[in-house]
Chains A and B, each alone.
Chain A
Amino acid sequence: MVNDALFEELMHAHGQDVLHFVRFYSKNSAEAEDLTQEIFIRAYTHRHTLGSVSNAKSWLLRVAVNVCRDYFRWKRRRPVEYMDQIPDVNTAPSAEESAVQNMTQSRVFHWVTLAPSKYKEVLLLHYFEELSIGEVAFALGVSESAVKSRLHRGREWIRKQEVDSDEARA
């Protein structure tokens, strides 16, 4: 059983990973912080399920995936339409900022943020969180072959988006 001191160490050690993962997942900073808090609460509540500290990161990310899924499932049920098509005048980047952003932001980064969650999860966990195939499988509760398959399809999806995008521009 993980005691409080050890759990706090885990929070310290993996807080940034969790926060970034959620930020990537949700595309919203405010939501990311709220969700991170929720993840730690849930993880603490279920800390008895953590088998080994060496596995802590993938375990925390498993909790993170579940919390995010629950949250966005809950959110979809709510009849809310966010006004994302209407830019917030206070936060919309300027033309210069957009240009700089476009130059620095990789295409893959862009597509990963837009990918279907099934692909986004494996891509984030494997490439961003740098988990092994086995650890990703553990985090998602699926088999390793499923992870490999999703990774492959995720890459295919990105490639297709890029090709379509190029054609549209042409």
Chain B
Amino acid sequence: MKPEHDWVEAELQQLREVATSQFSDVRYTEGMHQRMRQVVFKNNPRLGTRRAWRHFRGRTMTAIGTILATACVLLFVVFSSLNPNGNRIGNGIGPNQLGAVDWKTGYTQVPNRLIADHFQGIEHIHFGIGQFTPPGESISSVDIDLTPAQQKELETAMSQATYKVTNERPDSASFIYTIGFSKKNMSGEGFFSQTGAMSLPGDPLLGQANQGNVFAPNPALEHFISTQLLPQLVQKLQDDGKVLDGDVQHAATAFVKNLGVPADAFQYCIPTVLFTGSDNFKTLMEESNSTHGNQYALDSVHYDKSEKSAIVAFSKGMLLWKKTLQVRLDNIGGYWLVTQVGQSLDFAQYSGSPPLTGGPVLGNHQAVIIGNNGPANLVVKATNIPYTDVAISSLLKEADIVAFEQTPDHPFTDSPELRQLVTELKQRHGALVVAGDGAEPLCASNVMTTIGMGKLAANDTTHADYILVSFLDEGKVRYGGNVASSKSVGGINFESLAHGINQAALYIDTDWTNS
């Protein structure tokens, strides 16, 4: 042995003694032994003839089930291919219909065939723009009808599209422009909720289609949009007197540019409230910090004086969208929130193993957000919460915070079933039940505690117990859909909001800079 190893070797020789003292509280006690004995012997299917039979029977049934399921899938694929014009994906394209997201890569490759089918007969284009315009002057959307020739060109372009699904966040503020495609007979809310409109950057109103859908480079589509759609769009905006200096051109440039970004083109859709106006924002944050001592809140926000604006997004849906989000809950005595949102909220996974221990759980706490803004495989209709479902119940049972989300096409209704669920969550499990946007009726009737925009927009945060606050790094922001309209932005009362935050017992900051 080399001399320099002597002290290492000497200490290693003492390792058992040292470690044993370090682990003095870790003992294989009789109680532990009995528990393990119970599990090993009593629950092991290999023990005993009857258990063995049950085990065999279970495995046989599983095998048969697997074979049948595979056969069904094969049949579905075969029959689908025999009917290429059929509407086999329901009313639209969305991740839930396209298959689970590959959590490793973040993408789900979608066959072009589906895209092409879906875009047959598109006669109408919806273009969302204007989220950076001042309150009162924003342009919510522009709708453009396509000529038959344009329809054909779009269809051709889309047949070359590679459609991917990801739940990653966008890394550029320029991803705030949306485009939707619809068939002519759809309009209004139906347009958003039923067409499965594709969006490049996200719009929460787009429902399932907003869950991270991006196009890979598609020169044909890019050409179509840049040569046909955008000129038409600009003209229409000008005709309507909505053009603000530079905004439209900026939007158009960014939009086209982003069409060609596959790997980095993340779409991220959350209901957010977009604030502009540095003075109000700064005051708000400083007041919050002075009360709660949350210095990191201000640090995590890019405050760009040169642009005379700071952007902060208040969101309750944000947790859904970040797989590895780090969240810290302050001032509530050491709660931790689940970080592994995508995995832990994947009901499909939790319908079986693994159990709710280990990986996705920090401490013993889970957060569950229910709504139809969730990632793939996480759609629980607000109007039809199957809380009796074993898998969901097990999640709810583990949850510290249960937040209810909705989208306009699936509003909450104050039903006896929902009340029962909330009551059980509160009383039996001791969970904090919070309601998101659109659940005001439930809040008003004290069924839930409110968070987020619903109350904020109503200038009434005084009684909000919980507010989820998220800050976006470097001034980058996610498009806020309906709440970014002039009415909502203009309707925010910063003073009330600051007061609400200061009153809130729970204050969550999500720092994206480390993500």
Contact = CB atoms under 8 A, between A and B. Distances in A.
Nearest to A84: B362
Contacts of B5: 155-156, 159
B16 A109 contact: no
Contacts of A30: 357
Nearest to A23: B26
A130 B19 CA distance: 13
A83 B8 contact: no
B26 A19 contact: yes
Contact of A158 (B8, B25, B28, B334): B8
Contacts of A75: 358-359
A12 interface: yes
Interface in B84-103: 103
A15 interface: yes
Given A104-B21, A108-B12, A15 B33 contact: yes
B12 A20 contact: no
Sorting the interface of chain B by its residue count into under 10, 10 to 19, 20 to 34 or 35 or more gives: 35 or more
Contact of A159 (B4, B27, B46, B326): B4
Interface string B14-57: 11101111110111100011011101110010110000000000
Nearest to B39: A37
A44 B26 contact: no
Given A74-B359, A83-B362, A90-B334, A4 B340 contact: no
A29 B28 CA distance: 12
Contact of A108 (B4, B15, B328, B362): B15
B19 A20 contact: yes
Given A8-B37, A37-B39, A128-B15, A80 B20 contact: no
Interface in A104-135: 104-109, 112, 123, 127-130
Nearest to B30: A12
A101 B187 CA distance: 68
B342 interface: yes
B44 A44 contact: yes
Interface string B331-360: 001101001101100000000000001111
Contacts of B8: 108, 155, 158-159, 162
Interface in B398-434: none
B343 A79 contact: yes
B16 to A, nearest CB: 5
Contacts of B11: 106-109
Given A24-B23, A83-B362, A109-B19, A77 B104 contact: yes
Contacts of A36: 28, 36
A24 B19 contact: yes
Nearest to B25: A29
A16 interface: yes
B104 A109 contact: no
Contacts of B334: 88-90
A70 B44 CA distance: 20
Contacts of A80: 324, 339-340, 343, 359-360
Given A24-B23, A127-B13, A79 B46 contact: no
Given A20-B19, A79-B103, A12 B324 contact: no
B26 A20 contact: yes
B13 A40 contact: no
B231 interface: no
A12 B33 CA distance: 7
Report which residue of A16, A36, A104, A108 has the largest number of chain B beta carbons within 10 angstroms of its beta carbon: A108
A78 B339 CA distance: 11
Contacts of B35: 37
B169 interface: no
A170 interface: no
A106 B18 contact: yes
A45 B46 CA distance: 8
A112 B324 contact: no
B363 interface: yes
B9 interface: yes
Interface of A: 4, 7-8, 11-12, 15-16, 18-20, 23-24, 29-34, 36-37, 40-41, 44-45, 71, 74-75, 77-83, 86, 88-90, 104-109, 112, 123, 127-130, 155-156, 158-159, 162
19 contacts: A7-B40, A11-B36, A16-B28, A20-B20, A24-B19, A24-B23, A44-B44, A78-B360, A79-B324, A79-B342, A80-B360, A86-B328, A105-B22, A123-B12, A128-B16, A129-B16, A155-B12, A156-B5, A159-B4
Interface of B: 4-5, 8-9, 11-16, 18-23, 25-28, 32-33, 35-37, 39-41, 44, 46-47, 103-104, 323-324, 326, 328, 333-334, 336, 339-340, 342-343, 357-360, 362-363
Given A19-B32, A108-B8, 5 more contacts: A40-B36, A44-B44, A82-B339, A104-B21, A128-B16
